[in-house]
Every structure is written in structure tokens, then in C-alpha cells.
Amino acid sequence: MNMNPEERETVCKCGQETEEQKYERLDQVIEIYKSKPGSLIQILHMAQGIFGHIPSELQEYIAGKLNMPVAKVHGVVSFYTHFSMVPKGEHTIQVCMGTACFVRGGKEILETLTDELGIGVGETTPDGKFTLEVTRCIGACGLAPAVTIDNVVYQMMDSNKIKQVLKNGEFGA
């Protein structure tokens, strides 16, 4: 299932992605989430997945898009940093939000997972079993979309496959 590092290098184009392309992807995410409850937190998690971090200019951009004070966005970013040691679920599911995965169905997989688990990005199920996260490119673009569960990479996923993985409990190392 895993690819060797050389194969990954030849297929992964995320390193060539421009800032503009990343912002375009973020705009799509903002469109999807902006009217949902808790949208700011969801969007920040997605931004983290796309950019790898959330610098102040990105915070300003998101604040502008959501029509809210930058201080509020900054407050949430700081809050999450502060509470980063909050225990995660027994299993951590990460959906890749890199370019290849995003356009080949990563977005739909994430929606399926939020429905199936009943939680949003960055949240943990009430039974403490799963934490749902997004991640930047993990170097498996050739077989996108990719999802990791407890650091095991599942490639060429789709909504049905991820449902099956959850149902069968086929996760983890």
C-alpha cells in the first residue's frame, strides 16, 4: 500500500503549488463551511491542512472572508495552540487536503466522515474513539485521495471505502 520515497517524489506536485492555488482551495473550503455552526474552527483546521500553518496574514485573510475581527480569529488560533495537549481519540483519522487528494475526492471523503462520525474537523467522538483531522500532502498523490488512520496510509479512497474501513474496524497498524 505504501510507496517508496522515490516514487512519491516523482508523483507529488504539491511542492510546486503556488500560494495562489492554495488560497483558491481555501476559498472553496470557506464557501462550504462558512454557513455551518462552528465554521471558524473548521476553516482554521482546513487552512492548517492546506498551508501547514496559519500565519498572521492567513488569519487576516480568513477574518476578511468571514467578516469578523482578526482578533477573534487570532484568539481561536491561540486557544487551540494552548490546548493542543488535550487528549485525542483512540484512533486519529486524517484526510489529506493536498491538491491531488482534494480534487480527486478528499473533500467528499471528509464530508462522509463528518456525517458518519457526527463530528467536525478537529473534534473527537463523544465515546473517545475517533479524532478527525485534515493534513497537508503526505506524499501519496499518485494514488490520491489518501487518508491516514493512526499513521497507516489508505490510498485511492472514496466515500464507500472509508465507510467500509470504519465498519470493519480495519484501522491502525
Q: x/- binding map, residues 129-148, to ligand FES, per CB under 6 A?
A: --------xxxxx--x-x--
State how far the alpha carbon of 113 is from the alpha carbons of 43, 109, 173, in Å. Answer: 16, 6, 20
What is the C-alpha separation between 106 and 99, in angstroms, rounded? 9
Contact (Cβ atoms closer than 8 angstroms) between residue 101 and residue 137: yes
Give the nearest distance from C-beta 8 to ligand FES in angstroms: 8
Instruction: Please state, in angstroms and rounded to a whole number, the distance separating the CA atoms of residues 32 and 98.
Output: 17
Distance (Å) of CA 14 to CA 32, 92, 109, 147, 167? 22, 23, 20, 16, 32
String of contacts with ligand FES for each residue 10-29, x by CB under 6 A: --x-x---------------
Shortest CB 28 distance to ligand FES, Å = 15
CB of 144 to ligand FES, least distance (A): 5
H or E stretch including 169?
none
3-state class (DSSP) for residue 160: helix
Q: Does 101 bind ligand FES (CB under 6 A)?
A: yes
Amino acid residing at 54: I
Told to check if 109 binds ligand FES by CB under 6 A, we report: no
Q: Which stretch binds ligand FES (CB under 6 A): 29-37, 39-47, 97-105, 157-165?
A: 97-105
**50 touches ligand FES (CB under 6 A):** no
Instruction: Say how many residues touch ligand FES, by CB under 6 A.
Output: 14
The b-or-e profile of 9-22 (16+ CB within 10 A means b, else e) is: eeebebeebeeeeb
Q: Is 101 annotated as a binding residue?
A: yes
- Find the residue with minimal CB distance to ligand FES: 98
Cis bond leading into 145, ω under 30°? yes
Please report whether residue 46 would count as binding ligand FES according to CB under 6 A.
Answer: no
Residue ranges of the binding site for [2Fe-2S] cluster? 96, 101, 137, 141
**Where along the sequence are the contacts to ligand FES (CB under 6 A)?**
12, 14, 96, 98-101, 137-141, 144, 146
